[in-house]
């Protein structure tokens, strides 16, 4: 098969990382459980005809499917792929487009976690570029592995460019900004 200039390669080199289902669907489950328990409590106290019961029913009937659709769209569109010369990242819905970040432009990586540090192994990977720009990809599963592999590729690229072993950058785990 002859490939032209604009043809895509059949198989990308490197590892591919996806979003965490827990990170995306756990908030939906917590909201559903909270409003469901509220409705059960209102039913048990005989207040099912109250305004708050109607509001809870509306959230469960209309809001919950919208939240589930949003989580499913984000799950389907978030990924990080480590290619030969660059990181290919898609921040996911509602953001459009794919980011191609050369390893030579990456200065360091950072992992940010909110309350998620209690619930599982997922978080936000922040790529700090040499231009002081930061690129965040949220809700990724195993962010430590992603950052480690990116830093390994950045340091091996630096070692090849300079001819000496470059000291790898350190991965920082930061608390959420409040």
Are the C-beta atoms of residues 23 and 139 closer than 8 Å to each other?
A: yes
DSSP state of 178: -
Model confidence at 164, pLDDT cuts 50, 70, 90, reads: very low
Decide: pTM greater than 0.75.
Answer: no
DSSP 167: P
For the stretch 106-153, pLDDT in tens is 999 999 987 756 666 888 999 999 998 999 999 998 899 999 999 999
What does the pLDDT average to over 171-176?
44
- Closest to 91 measured CA to CA, from 150, 17, 22: 17
Asked, as a colleague might, if the bond just before 94 is cis with ω within 30 of 0, I would say yes
DSSP-assigned beta bridge partners for residue 128: 108, 134
Query: In the chain, at which residue ranges do the beta strands (DSSP E only) sit?
Result: 16-18, 79-82, 86-90, 99-102, 106-112, 122-129, 134-141, 172-174
> Could you give the CA distance from residue 93 to residue 96 in angstroms, rounded to a whole number?
7
Instruction: Tell me the pLDDT tens digit for each residue of 70-111.
Output: 999 999 999 999 988 899 999 888 888 899 999 999 999 999
Rounded to 5°, angle at Cα 123 from 140 and 72: 45
Q: Are strands 172-174 and 134-141 parallel, antiparallel or unpaired?
A: unpaired
Closest listed residue to residue 23, CA positions, set 166, 137, 162 = 137
């Amino acid at each position: 098969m002859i490939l032209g200039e604009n043809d895509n390669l059949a198989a990308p080199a490197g590892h591919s990382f996806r979003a965490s289902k827990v990170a995306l669907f756990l908030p939906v489950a917590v909201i559903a459980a909270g409003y469901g328990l509220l409705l059960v409590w209102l039913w048990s106290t005989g207040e099912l005809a109250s305004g708050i019961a109607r509001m809870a029913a509306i959230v469960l009937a209309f809001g919950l499917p919208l939240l589930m659709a949003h989580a499913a769209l984000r799950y389907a569109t978030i990924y990080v792929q480590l290619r030969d010369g660059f990181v290919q990242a898609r921040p996911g819905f509602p953001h459009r487009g794919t980011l191609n970040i050369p390893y030579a432009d990456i200065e360091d990586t950072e992992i940010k976690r909110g309350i998620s540090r209690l619930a599982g192994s997922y978080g936000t990977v922040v790529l700090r570029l040499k231009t002081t720009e930061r690129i965040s990809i949220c809700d990724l599963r195993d962010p430590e592995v992603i950052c480690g592999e990116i830093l390994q590729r950045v340091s091996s690229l630096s070692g090849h460019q300079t001819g000496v072993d470059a000291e790898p950058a350190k991965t920082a785990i930061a608390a959420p900004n409040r």
